[in-house]
Amino acid sequence: MSSTFAAIPFNKPYLAGPETKYIEEAVRSGKISGDGLFTKRCHQFFEQQLGFTKVLLTTSCTDALEMAALLLDLQPGDEVIVPSYTFVSTPNAFVLRGAKIVFADSTAENPNLDPATLESLITPRTRAVVPVHYAGIACDMDAIGAVATKHGLAVVEDAAQAIDSFYKGQALGTIGELAAFSFHETKNIIAGEGGMLAINDPRYAQRAEIIREKGTNRSSFFRGEVDKYGWVDVGSSFLPSDIVAAFLYAQLEHMGDIQARRKAIWQRYYDAFVPLAAQGVSLPHLPEYATNNGHMFYLVCRSLDERTALINALKQRQILPVFHYLSLHTSPFYTDKHDGRALPWADHYTDCLVRLPLYYELYPELQQRVVDGVLEFYASL
């Protein structure tokens, strides 16, 4: 257990137990490239135990998003609606295909895409909308889905942070035609780097395998469906090593324990910080249709200056909180391509949101140091 004087990091990767054993097992199997024994086990876990229609492990969530963009067959000038308050991989996957990004604002309640603004952003060139389930909390998928259906748009869920989270009882990542997950070391279930594409529309299933295998029908060949394989489409090498999958499978086996611990830590934070709402500090908002997967706990301060002061005060106590995204519509790369609309809520979260340490081994006495640091900061104002 950490000393009281040791720094409390924002994140600490957790070893569930059998990771190194499974890695050794993968090596001894004689196949550590993609689609080995542990990749298949991970696929089966998601499809048989968690109810996904079809999944494919990828080297990252970024690659899963890039596969989604390829599957949608986007052409230069096509438009994709993406929240401004997200990681750069979300729009970049579609920019790589020549798409124009139309940025949407967040809601006042949380950083998720505001569905009330969605229809006004649609033009004859719009092809898809990409809701990002920020902090693992579901977007309003009925509202987004209704607009998408009305206008014939594909829905690609960015579920990077959303494993084991639900919308009206349905697992996030199973609602849109396609969905992308992350197993980066900062996520709940990790593989160091890693991701997954979920394919919920069967029209995309076969082509997804081809794109993932460098544009070849190699997967069909190994299943005995064709007598040889060749180059049949565009694609790239999106397969992770089976060593990555071995690590991931160990985590999946312990997902119940990992999730119970993370949710308990999240709830302790929430209960401790309820009084801050009276000072105008916002806590995570969980709509009635959404569940909490314990991915992230954040506070929304009243100003940039207040957030900066809070981060500095906690750092003096050797506690390392972090802010998060910078509005992408004002980024150096896209500011001159944006249509000039103000996106005030995206900018508000850019300036005011702060994430607190949350990881499996954040024991109660360590978490109490964080709680005390935050409460004492606000008591001093």
Predicted structure pTM score:
0.96
Q: What pLDDT, on the 0 to 100 scale, is given for residue 4?
A: 53
What angle is formed at CA 264 by the lines to CA 261 and CA 265, rounded to 5 degrees? 90
Length of the chain: 381
Strand 178-182 vs strand 79-83: parallel, antiparallel, or unpaired? unpaired
Specify the 3-state DSSP secondary structure of 7: coil
Q: In what order do the strands lie in the sheet with 154-158?
A: 55-58, 195-199, 178-182, 154-158, 126-129, 79-83, 100-104
Buried b (16+ CB within 10 A) or exposed e, 323-346: bbbebbbebeebeeebeeeebebb
Q: What pLDDT, on the 0 to 100 scale, is given for residue 226?
A: 76
Phi, psi of 279 (to 5 degrees): -95, 5
What structural domains does the chain harbor?
A: 19-253 (3.40.640.10), 255-379 (3.90.1150.10)
Q: What pLDDT, on the 0 to 100 scale, is given for residue 3?
A: 44
Q: What is the mean pLDDT of the chain?
A: 96
Say if residues 323 and 111 touch (Cβ distance below 8 Å): no
Q: What pLDDT, on the 0 to 100 scale, is given for residue 1?
A: 39
- Residues contacting 209, CB < 8 A, separation 6+: 56, 217, 219, 220
Strand 178-182 vs strand 195-199: parallel, antiparallel, or unpaired? antiparallel
Q: Which segments of the chain have a pLDDT < 50? A: 1-3
Phi, psi of 101 (to 5 degrees): -90, 130
